[in-house]
Structure 1
Amino acid sequence: MSAVMIARKVRKWEKLPGKNSFCCDGRVMMARQKGVFYLTVFLIVGTCSLFFAFECPYLATHLSPAIPVFAIVLFLFVMAMLLRTSFSDPGVLPRALPEEATFIEMEIEAANGNVPAGQRPPPRIRNVQINGQIVKLKYCHTCKIFRPPRASHCSICDNCVDRFDHHCPWVGNCVGKRNYRYFYLFTLSLSLLTIYIFTFAIVHVVMRSVDSGFVKTLQDTPGTYPFMLVCFFTLWSVVGLTGFHSYLISLNQTTNEDIKGSWSGKNRLQNPYSHKNIVKNCCEVLCGPAYPSVLDRRGLTQDDLPVPASTAAQSNPVPQTTKTTAPLIPNEHTPDDAKSSIADSAISHAEKGSPSPKKEKPPTPAKVPPLASPETDAFSSFNLYCDWHLNIHSITTMTDNTIRLSITHEGITNEEMARGYLLL
C-alpha cells in the first residue's frame, strides 16, 4: 500500500535524540531509568510520615510545637530540591546537524591529511588555553561535536552534558552545569533532615522510657524502631556524600574530574578553573548565574508523517461541484423598473450560493478584484451585472472573508454584501 508524507508541526522535544524521557509537554526532562528515583521519593516520604505519626504528637506536647513545624519546612525544602534536580535540564548540548557534521568531518580530514592505509588516524583533539593551562577538547563521535571544556558524554542518557559531574540514579537524572547547585542543596538539606528526625526520635524514646519503661515504649510506639534503623544507615551515606561534594566545591572540581585525576596524581596539572580561594569557588558554583537551556525543547519544528493514501484521501475529500441556477442578466430590452429587482436578486443569489471548485474561471470585470472562488454561475452573473449596469464607488475587504461593494443604480446608493473566499 502506497503512503503519503504529510507535514505536521511537532515540539522539538519529540524529535530530540538520546535516551531521555519527557513529561508535561517537554517541561520535565529525566532519564528513562526512573525506578531508583521512585525509591528515593518513597524512602523520604515514608520515613517522614512515620516521624510525624509516632514522634511529633508526643514531642509537640511535652517539648515544643515548633519541632514538627520545622520538620515540615525542612521536608518540603528537601522535596523541592529533589524535584528541581530531577526534572530540569542538566545542561545537555545539542547534537550537530547533518550539514554541520559533514563540515566538521571535512575540516578534520583536511587537517589530518592523507593517512596511509593500515595506519590509525590521529586522535580528534583540539587544544584551548584557559588561565595559562592547555585544555584538550575531545571529539564526540555520537554527537558529532567537539565537546566544550569540562563536558562529557553520559552513556546512560546518551547525551553530552556541559560541566558533567556524574549521573545520579537516586535523582533519575544527570548532574551537570544547570542543576548541580540544586543537587548539592538537596543532599545538604537531606542530611540536616535525617540528623534532625533521628535526634528527636532518640529524645522521644529516652523520655518515654523514663516515664513508662523501655518495654512499654516498644509497645506504645511500634513504628519508632524500624524508623530509627532506616535513619541510622541512611545518615552515614547521605552525610558522607554531602561532605564529599563540599570538598569538591571548595576546589571548584567535578566528580568526573576527581575520578579521572585530571588535576591531580601523575599529571601534576593545576586546576585552571579554581580561584585558589574557597569562598570564591563556593560562590561561583552555588551563587553563579543560572544558565538557560540550549535545547529549546518546546520550540516547533516540521515532521513528515507517513500516512496511507486511502487515509489521506478520506481525511481530505475532493469537494463536489454544486450546480446553481443563475439569475437573469438584464439587457437593452429589459424595462427600467425591472433592472433594480434583477440587481437585488443577483446579489442575494450570490450571498446564498456556495462557491464550488471548477476548472475554468469566468472572466472577471476590470473594476472588481477577482474572488478566490468565483466559479459558480451565480457569481459569474453577479460579476457581469456589476460590469454592465452598476457604478462601483468603492471596494472594501472585510476580515470575515467578505468583499463589501458600494454601488449606485439609477441614482440610488446601495450597499450589499457579496460573500466569497478572498484570493490568497
Structure 2
Amino acid sequence: MKNCEYQQIDPQALTTPTPTPAPTPAPTPSARPCPEKKKPKRLKRKWEVFPGKNRFYCDGRIIVARQSGVLPLTVGLILVTSGLFFIFDCPFLVKHLTGCIPVIGGVLFVLVFISLLQTSFTDPGILPRATPEEAADIEKQIDNPTGSSSSSYRPPPRTKEVVINQQVVKLKYCFTCKIFRPPRTSHCSLCDNCVERFDHHCPWVGNCVGKRNYRFFYMFIVSLSFLTAFIFGCVTTHLALINRNVLQTLHKTSFRLLLEHVYFMNFIFIFSLTLSLFFFLLLFFSFFHFQIKGSWSGKSGNEETGNPYSYNSIFKNCCSVLCGPMPPRSVCLQGKNYASAVCVLISIPTRKTTNSCSEKTIKIIEMPKYL
C-alpha cells in the first residue's frame, strides 16, 4: 500500500459562505373578510299563520278544533264497548249461532270509526278572511255616526240583499272575518271561523258540522245507531241463551247487568231521536242552526215563506247532500304563506229549469284566498 500524507488545515483560513437573503414576497392586496351569507328567512306555512282557533296536523291537511277534549272520550267509549263485545260475546255467539256475527259487527265498527275520523278531521267549509288591505278598505266605508274614536265602538251590522228563487236573502257582514257571509253561513264562536252551511259545533266529534263534512256526520250517526242496536241485540241474545229464558235472565242476572240493559236502552233511545231529527232536517234541505232560528218557517216574518234552497224533492235533497260531489276547500293550508284576493262564485240550486236563477241571484263576492 502507498503511504498517504495528511496535513492539518487551519479552520480560520477557510472562508465562510455568506447567506443569500431570502426574496421578499411581493406586496399582496389586503385580504377582505368574506361576507357571511345571510340565510333566507323561512316563510311560514299557511296553517301556521291561520287566524282561526284550530289545530293542524300533517302540514295542514288535518284540521281539528282547539277545544276537542271530548273527542278522545268518544273514541274511547266506542273502542271499549266494541272491544268488550268482541272479546266476551262474539266467541259464545259464534259457537252457538253463526259466524256472521263478528263480521257484521266488524263492518259496523269500521264504518263508525272511519266516519268519525272523517267528520273530525275534514274541513267543514271554512271561508277565508279578508286581507288587511281589503279589511282596511271596508272599514273606511263604515260610518261612525257618534264620532267616537273608541276601539270598543261597533257600528250596526251591515247587510247586502240578493234574490234567490224570487226570495230576498240578506248577506250579513262578519266583523271578525271582515267579509259578507254567503247564504247559510255562520260564524262559529269556538273555532272563530265562518263556515258554509254551518249546522252546529259538535264537541263529541271535535269539529264544526258544515257543508263539507255533513255527509260524514250523518253517516257517523246512522252507523253508530246500527252498531249500538246490534250490540244490544247480541248481548240480550247471549244472556237469553245462557238462561234459556229472557225473564229468568232478568231475575237471575245481577243488578250490574240490569243496569247495562238500561244503559243500552237509553243509548238507543237517544240516538234514535237524534237520527230522526237529522233525517227530518235533511229531507227538507234545512240545517239545524237555521231550523232553530226559524229562517224559512215564517217565524221571523209576517208571511210564511218556503225554503229557497230546496229542490222540492226529498230524493233530490238527499242526493245533493249525501251523494253529491265533494265541495272543494275554500281555504288551502298547504304551501307558503302568500295571499291574494279572488272572486268566489256562489252557485244557487234551482227548482226548475224555467225558474232558473237570474243574474241577480248569483253574486260574486270578493274574499281572500290562500294559494
TM bucket, shorter chain = 0.7 to 0.9
**Aligned with residue 293 of structure 2, among 260, 263, 273:** 260
Q: TM-score, normalised by structure 1?
A: 0.64
**Which has more strand, going by share of residues?**
1
* 1:172 has 2:206 as partner: yes
- Mapped to 2, the partners of 1:120 and 1:104 lie a distance apart of 14
* Structure 1, gaps ≥5 residues long: 304-424
Q: TM-score, normalised by structure 2?
A: 0.73
**Aligned with residue 58 of structure 2, among 21, 24, 29:** 24
1:123-272 matched pairs, under 5 angstroms: 123-210=157-244, 214=249, 218=253, 227-264=260-297, 265-267=299-301, 268-272=304-308
* 1:276 has 2:312 as partner: yes
Higher relative contact order (CA 8 A, sep 6+): 2
- Mapped to 1, the partners of 2:133 and 2:238 lie a distance apart of 67
Is the alpha carbon distance of 1:192 and 1:146 closer, same or farther for their aligned partners in structure 2, counting shifts above 3 Å? same
- Mapped to 2, the partners of 1:126 and 1:211 lie a distance apart of 67
* 1:286 has 2:322 as partner: yes
* 1:44 has 2:78 as partner: yes
Contact 1:90 1:176 in 2 (8 A): yes
Contact 1:205 1:217 in 2 (8 A): no
Residue equivalent to 2:334:
298
Contact 1:18 1:158 in 2 (8 A): yes
1:329-408 matched pairs, under 5 angstroms: none
Length, aligned pairs only: 294
- Mapped to 2, the partners of 1:32 and 1:120 lie a distance apart of 27
- Mapped to 1, the partners of 2:316 and 2:105 lie a distance apart of 32
- Mapped to 2, the partners of 1:178 and 1:167 lie a distance apart of 14
Task: Give 1:233 deviation, angstroms.
Answer: 2.2
Q: Which amino acid aligns with 1:271?
A: N
**Which has more helix, going by share of residues?**
1
Contact 2:200 2:289 in 1 (8 A): yes
Deviations 1:95-152 (A, max 9, x none): 100111122234x44xx6x846589955310001111111100000000000010000
Structure 1 segments (4+ residues) deviating >3 Å = 114-123, 211-219, 222-230
- Mapped to 2, the partners of 1:243 and 1:178 lie a distance apart of 21
Task: Give 1:234 deviation, angstroms.
Answer: 1.6
The percentage of counterpart residues that share the same residue type is 50
Contact 1:55 1:204 in 2 (8 A): yes
Contact 1:209 1:216 in 2 (8 A): no
Deviations 1:344-382 (A, max 9, x none): xxxxxxxxxxxxxxxxxxxxxxxxxxxxxxxxxxxxxxx
Deviations 1:22-69 (A, max 9, x none): 122212100111221111111111111111122111111111100111
Contact 2:285 2:317 in 1 (8 A): yes
Residue equivalent to 1:33:
67
* Structure 2, gaps ≥5 residues long: 1-37, 340-371
Quote the RMSD (CA, aligned, Å): 2.7
